Amino acid sequence: MKLSKESICVQSGHFPYQSHTLPIIPSSTYVFDSAEHGMDIFTNKQKGYIYSRFNNPTVDFAAEKIAALEGFGMDYLPACYLTSSGMSALSTLFLALLKPGDKILSHYSLYGGTDELFHKTLKGLNIDTIIVDFDDLNSVEAALKADSKIAHIHIETPANPTLRCVDIQAVANLAKQYQKKLSVDNTFATPLLQQPLLLGADFVIHSITKYLNGHGTAIGGAVIGKDLEWMDTVFKKAFRLLGGAYNPFEAWLLVNGLKTLPLRLKQHTANAKTLADYLSQHTEIATVNYLGLLDHPYHSIAKKQMEDFGGMMSFELKGGFDAGTKFLNKLQLCVRAVSLGTCDTLISHPASMTHIGVPREERVKYGITDGLIRMSVGIENINDILADFEQALKA
């Protein structure tokens, strides 16, 4: 029976035991029936397990669910590897793809860690990143034309924390035309709201830590790739040797979290919409940045490639930095914390927290101003969130 994305979240997959819920198999190694059996598994003649840095039955079960969601509507299942964090998903992919001298083409206002990975760690390996404005596809094409060392394009849409969006299909077309690979960080949208592979991307990256786990109980990442041959050879080799494997307990947490992803996203989105409307009309608020607002500069791109606008937003108080910190300190329900995508509403201050490693000039240019407050709107009763805002804004 062909399942919808919502049902895949809840029920897809079979485990060869009678247990109703997913068993956790916490084994580092696996038993071979005979020397020949071991040899067959090592030489890929037979499927099986060898060692949990390579793969694990509980982890594989979870990975297949993510593959089914990102590949929903494709005529085959893409390959998916779960990793110890979103950062290890990114670093494993780029170390598998690139060699010294290659360049990455990307944009400003990426996740802070990705930005530092590009401009510090990869730069140290002589893998440079060229930054252009992806609002202007001519400048993307000009960069591709000008520099044949560009081997890869990486985008994040919606981006963290500015919510700038990139037209995935348009960039995928350029990538194809110039024979480059394209990866998309889909953490903010999740495969329920956006499927980059269907829009022409080659790879999808996730920080599972966020909406997919959904409860803030574990760190994790995923790399999903369309080219099965490449994923099964080059990527698999890098993944095993770099050692960023996921673990069975956290895969089990992920599978449980996924069951409610469709419901959670509906509530995150509905709450964010109501809150964005409320803040838009509030006299103390200078700007509201939510993709669902009709006058948002990226509303139309988001509408074109996303099912809905999600639960992320940011805003700036008229009083700037000082008013912002005062406001944060007055909150009683909303939680002062970085990260996002948990059931609870989380509020953070990018300039002093997640983006502290990004040069000020660079972040301000792309909208991460000193007083910007980022919100991951939770699934609490919206009236309680509004009441918390009301009292904190009054104070």
134 sits near ligand PLP (criterion: CB under 6 A)? no
| Contact pick of 210, 226, 355, 374 for ligand PLP (by CB under 6 A) | 210
Give me the 88-127 binding string for ligand PLP, x by CB under 6 A, dash otherwise. -----------------------x-xx-------------
| Closest C-alpha among 288, 293, 300, 289 to residue 273 | 293
Choose the binding region for ligand PLP from 59-67, 83-91, 140-148, 304-312 (rule: CB under 6 A).
Answer: 83-91
| Residue 331 and residue 225 in contact, taking contact as beta carbons nearer than 8 Å | no
Q: Residue 100 to residues 58, 97, 124, 361: CA-CA distances in angstroms? A: 36, 11, 9, 28
Choose the binding region for ligand PLP from 24-32, 79-87, 225-233, 294-302 (rule: CB under 6 A).
Answer: 79-87
Q: Residue 164 to residues 161, 367, 370: CA-CA distances in angstroms? A: 8, 9, 18
193 sits near ligand PLP (criterion: CB under 6 A)? no
348 sits near ligand PLP (criterion: CB under 6 A)? no
251 sits near ligand PLP (criterion: CB under 6 A)? no
Please identify the residue of the shown chain whose CB is closest to the bound ligand PLP: 86
Residue placing its CB nearer to ligand PLP in the complex, 187 or 314: 187
Q: Could you tell me the sign of the dihedral formed by the alpha carbons of 342, 310, 207, 352, in that order?
A: negative
65 sits near ligand PLP (criterion: CB under 6 A)? no
| Residue 162 and residue 189 in contact, taking contact as beta carbons nearer than 8 Å | no
Q: How far is the CB of 304 from ligand PLP (least distance, A)?
A: 20
Rounded to whole angstroms, how far apart are CA atoms 174 and 140?
8
| Closest C-alpha among 265, 268, 347, 319 to residue 69 | 265
Query: DSSP letters of 317-347?
Result: ETTHHHHHHHHHHH-SSSEE-S---SSS-EE
Q: How far is the CB of 14 from ligand PLP (least distance, A)?
A: 28
Residue placing its CB nearer to ligand PLP in the complex, 25 or 254: 254
Burial 127-147 (b: 16+ CB within 10 A, else e): bbbbbbebeebeebeebbeee
| Contact pick of 91, 194, 195, 209 for ligand PLP (by CB under 6 A) | 209
Q: How far is the CB of 321 from ligand PLP (least distance, A)?
A: 23
Q: How far is the CB of 210 from ligand PLP (least distance, A)?
A: 6
Residue placing its CB nearer to ligand PLP in the complex, 114 or 269: 114
| Contact pick of 58, 106, 160, 267 for ligand PLP (by CB under 6 A) | 160
Burial 248-282 (b: 16+ CB within 10 A, else e): bebbbbbbbbbebbbebbebbbebbbebbebbeeb
342 sits near ligand PLP (criterion: CB under 6 A)? no
250 sits near ligand PLP (criterion: CB under 6 A)? no
87 sits near ligand PLP (criterion: CB under 6 A)? yes
Count of residues making up the chain: 395
φ, ψ of residue 215 to 5 degrees: the values are -125, 5
| Contact pick of 115, 156, 202, 316 for ligand PLP (by CB under 6 A) | 156
| Contact pick of 56, 85, 109, 183 for ligand PLP (by CB under 6 A) | 85
| Closest C-alpha among 68, 78, 64 to residue 202 | 78
167 sits near ligand PLP (criterion: CB under 6 A)? no
239 sits near ligand PLP (criterion: CB under 6 A)? no
Rounded to whole angstroms, how far apart are CA atoms 38 and 49?
9
Give catalytic residues, as residue numbers: 53, 111, 185, 210
Q: How far is the CB of 341 from ligand PLP (least distance, A)?
A: 8
Rounded to whole angstroms, how far apart are CA atoms 278 and 386?
8
3-state secondary structure 138-161: HHHHHHHHHCCCEEEEEEECCCCC
Q: How far is the CB of 154 from ligand PLP (least distance, A)?
A: 11
With CB under 6 A as the rule, give the number of residues binding ligand PLP: 16
Residue placing its CB nearer to ligand PLP in the complex, 171 or 382: 171
Residues that bind ligand PLP (CB under 6 A): 85-87, 111, 113-114, 156, 160, 185, 187-188, 207, 209-210, 219, 221
